[in-house]
Structure 1
Amino acid sequence: MLLIETFVYIGTIAFAISGALIAIKNNLDIFGVILLGLTTALAGGVIRDIMIGNIPPTNLADPQYFLVSLLACLITILFFDKLNRFEHAIVFSDAIGLGVFTAVGANAAISLDYSEPFLIVAMGLVTGIGGGVLRDVFVREIPLVFRKEIYGIASIAGSISLILTYEFVAPSISLYICLIVTATIRMLAVKWKWNVPIVHKNSVAK
């Protein structure tokens, strides 16, 4: 399906740029920048495919996604100064990638005739956050999904929107809705500082 393929390329490029930008900000060398960009772009899909039994994972069996990610990383290295001028470039790239891969992951479950909402949401979530979680771990940061910022919740909301609309509109429209809902919630959460309440150890102890 051309739309799905387009979505995957958009998400792959967005996540690769996001990973490469964070790597450069953490003073990694060129190999580290490329590796972090590739991990961010490809890991979520690999984890999803392993979970649903699609072996070998598409991102590893087909080099085109690797090559697209590699090219995005190299462009980020070459034009880092220009990309870095755009305020919230990392947040925007990450939000687009999260939206795209959430839509693609949830749709992958539906296309395999899985109808259980929990499984569809789980596949969307894993595909959306998997690469970002590993990216943050590699640079020794607590992953966004585990912090107070609304990240995983945006992915869950997007997957639910796809489930609710899939039977009533064209599949392509459902994918767009999922992408828009996920990315919009993520970006608005950053802009308006929407946070999930933190569990403080002192209050738990009491």
Structure 2
Amino acid sequence: MLLIEMFVFLGTIAFAISGSLLAIQKRLDIFGVLLLGLTTALAGGVIRDLMIGNIPPTNLAEPQYFLVSLLASLSTIIFFERIKKFNHSIAFFDAIGLGVFTAVGANAVLSFEYSQPFLIITMGLVTGIGGGVLRDVFVQEIPQVFRKEVYGMASIAGSVALIISYDFVSPIISLYICLTVTFTIRMLALKWKWNIPVVGRKAKINRRTLNS
């Protein structure tokens, strides 16, 4: 599990940086930058734990995750001009974070001896995207998961892969499969600009047709 722990910290750092960068771009004060970084990195896990009855949430009971997120946000403030030049690297680490937190979220449900597939997929999704959704809502933006390249669907696919493989390989291998599937789909979506079809465009076309 050492590699998973390493990836968790890496994903936590990536999410904290992405939240802090957005806060700086929105011209928030230092407290706002730190809060948005912490929210992005920790909120998904907190929401998941509250929903499955793991109280207090792991992200709050074990301060190392808070401290890592805080240090990442502070570093983003200090080195903002340098960090903002590496958007592609941040997207890469963000994809790792999505894969890791999806795997960790789905596995948390299994560790509590819940076996319902829908619950496993939901908790993997909540853990993976929860922080990012709150981040965007706090700065009054439509969450990226609703309007950008395949993101939430990558998380769902990873959780499904974990469920399918769980009975055939060891639990740790199924976690790596979940991580790999989620990460690969997310990176391919970024590279090839895969998007979920937008309903609004079709609605506009239909409206024009009706008006004509």
Shift, 1:137, TM fit: 0.8
Kindly report which structure 2 residues correspond to 1:184-203, keeping only aligned pairs within 5 A, or say none: 184-200=184-200, 201-202=203-204
State TM-score, norm by structure 2. 0.89
Kindly indicate whether the alpha-carbon contact (under 8 Å) linking 1:83 and 1:89 is maintained by their aligned counterparts in 2: no
1:47 is displaced (CA, Å) by 0.4
Extract unaligned runs of 5+ from structure 2. none
What's 1:60 paired with? 60
Contact 1:17 / 1:93 at 8 angstroms: preserved in 2?
A: no
Maintained 8 Å contact 1:22/1:90: no
Alignment identity in percent?
74
Give, in angstroms, the shift of residue 173 of structure 1.
Answer: 1.9
Match of 2:116 in 1: 116
How many residue pairs were aligned?
Answer: 206
How far is 1:148 from its partner? 5.0
SS in 1 for 2:196: coil
Q: Partner of 1:158 in structure 2?
A: 158
Give yes or no for contact 2:12–2:41 (8 Å, CA) kept in 1: yes
**Does 2:78 align with 1:78?**
yes
How far apart, in 2, do the equivalents of 1:97 and 1:4 lie? 11
User: How do residues 13-92 of structure 1 correspond to structure 2 at under 5 angstroms?
Assistant: 13-92=13-92
Q: TM-score, normalised by structure 1?
A: 0.92
Deviations 1:129-166 (A, max 9, x none): 10000011112211122225311101000111111112
Determine the C-alpha separation between the residues in 1 that align with 2:77 and 2:187: 24
Question: RMSD over aligned Cα, in angstroms?
Answer: 1.8
Distance 2:63 2:10 in 1: 16
Tell me how far apart the structure 2 counterparts of residues 87 and 70 of structure 1 sit (CA, whole Å).
Answer: 20
Structure of higher CA gyration radius: 2
What runs of 5+ residues in structure 1 fail to find an aligned partner? Answer: none
The question of 1:135 aligning with 2:107 is answered no
Structure 1 residues 18, 93: closer, same or farther in 2, change over 3 A? farther
Decide which moves more: 152-161 or 169-178: 169-178
Q: Is the 8 A contact 1:148 1:197 kept in 2?
A: no
